[in-house]
């Protein structure tokens, strides 16, 4: 019997945006995936793999939590770097709550210090999340939590290990209680607002980093050019990997095309797991010189193009 049929008032829903702010490699993408319970953002050993505001959507009790996984905040040098940092802070200012993530092992280094200083200017309740606590002794964790809370006022402090899920349930429950009252903004069965074409491109980009994290710099991007749902329920996907120089194209292709085949096989396997249908994936590699200075590429990644 529903609450309406029994004459009871149904519980009021809550819904809000929660921004995750932190230095590169602090574990924001891993935390989003742990909170959602599915893979919605790429996770890489290389820093700076999250470029756009990819949201994970969590339903907890009567609340919908929309997670904004921002680019890691760092000292920007290139135009793309500046766009990513600007996007990160705009995500924090636009959210209802802000989770400031610290790496338990790294502690408050120069990057974390700068983030804490700037986060103090964000006029929302802030939650301190210390990640990777499984790697550090308890005494050091308590000292880190105290030092961070002395620098800025946090509503709550959580100690978690996102990779194993330790402490994540408690954080999810608290976020569901802290987001403001209001109707759900997304369908209940939707985990991310990133279109599947974009998610597919992100997955292939992750596989490139896993294979070539030492050889290939960040001047590469992936675009899903075609997405065809076929009568046999399979999906045909065509993607283009863009690099800036011919030498980079040869690295991605590999000897006899071995590297691109390996990247495609790994990406196809993960896409099949997510889509739960057969996937036919075709990868192409093209040189697009100075794509890092092309405003259209930034718009496709959900970033504002810095004019300077």
Q: Tokens for 284, please give them.
A: 């192409």
Q: Are 263 and 211 in contact (CB under 8 A)?
A: yes
Query: How far is Cα 115 from Cα 135, in angstroms, rounded to an integer?
Result: 22
290 is in an annotated binding site: no
Q: Is 28 annotated as a binding residue?
A: yes
- Residue 132 annotated as binding? yes
Q: Is 23 flagged in the annotation as binding?
A: yes
* Number of helical H runs and strand E runs in the chain: 9, 9
Contacts of 127 (CB under 8 A, 6+ apart): 97, 98, 99, 100, 154, 155, 156, 157, 158, 171, 174, 175, 178
DSSP 8-state class, residue 181? B
Report which of 92, 172, 169, 167 is spatially closest to residue 131, judged by C-alpha positions.
167
Write out 81-97 in H/E/C secondary structure. HHHHHHHHHHHHHHCCE
Q: Is 61 labeled as ligand-binding? A: no
**Residue for token digits 């192409």?**
284
39 is in an annotated binding site: no
β-bridge pairing 54-60 and 14-21: unpaired
46 is in an annotated binding site: no
24 annotated as ligand-binding: yes
Check: CB of residue 63 under 8 Å from CB of residue 172. no
**200 annotated among ligand-binding-site residues:** no
Please give the distance of CA 50 from its chain centroid, rounded to a whole number. Answer: 6
User: What gap in Å lies between CA 51 and CA 283, rounded to an integer?
Assistant: 21
Q: Is 134 annotated as a binding residue?
A: yes
Residue 70, annotated as binding a ligand? yes
69 marked as part of a ligand binding site? yes
Q: Which residues define the annotated binding site?
A: 22-29, 69-73, 131-134
Task: Indicate the annotated binding residues for GTP.
Answer: 22-29, 69-73, 131-134
């Amino acid at each position: 019997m529903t609450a309406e049929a029994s004459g009871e008032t149904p519980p009021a829903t809550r819904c809000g945006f929660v921004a995750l702010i932190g230095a590169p490699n602090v574990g924001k993408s891993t935390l989003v995936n742990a909170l959602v319970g599915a893979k919605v953002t790429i996770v890489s050993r290389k820093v700076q793999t999250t470029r756009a505001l990819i949201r994970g959507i969590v339903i907890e009790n009567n609340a919908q939590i929309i997670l904004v996984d921002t680019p890691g905040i760092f000292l920007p040098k290139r135009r793309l770097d500046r766009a990513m940092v600007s996007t990160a802070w705009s995500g924090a200012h636009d959210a209802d709550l802000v989770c400031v993530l610290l790496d338990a092992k790294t502690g408050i280094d120069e990057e974390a210090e700068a983030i804490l200083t700037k986060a103090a200017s964000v006029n929302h309740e802030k939650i301190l999340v210390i990640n990777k606590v499984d790697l550090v002794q308890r005494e050091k964790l308590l000292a880190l939590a105290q030092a961070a809370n002395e620098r800025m006022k946090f509503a709550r402090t959580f100690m978690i290990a996102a990779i194993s899920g330790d402490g994540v349930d408690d954080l999810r429950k608290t976020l569901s209680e802290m987001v403001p009252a209001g109707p759900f903004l997304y369908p209940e069965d939707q985990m991310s607002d990133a279109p599947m074409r974009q998610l597919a491109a992100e997955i292939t980009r992750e596989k490139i980093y896993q294979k070539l994290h030492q050889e290939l710099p960040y001047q590469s991007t992936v675009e899903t050019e075609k997405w065809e749902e076929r009568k046999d329920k399979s999906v045909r996907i065509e993607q283009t990997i863009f690099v800036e120089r011919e030498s980079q194209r040869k690295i991605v292709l590999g000897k006899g095309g071995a590297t691109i085949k390996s990247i495609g096989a790994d990406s196809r396997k993960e896409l099949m797991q997510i889509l739960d249908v057969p996937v036919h994936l075709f990868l192409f590699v093209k040189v697009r010189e100075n794509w890092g200075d092309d405003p259209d590429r930034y718009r496709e990644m959900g970033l504002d193009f810095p004019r300077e």
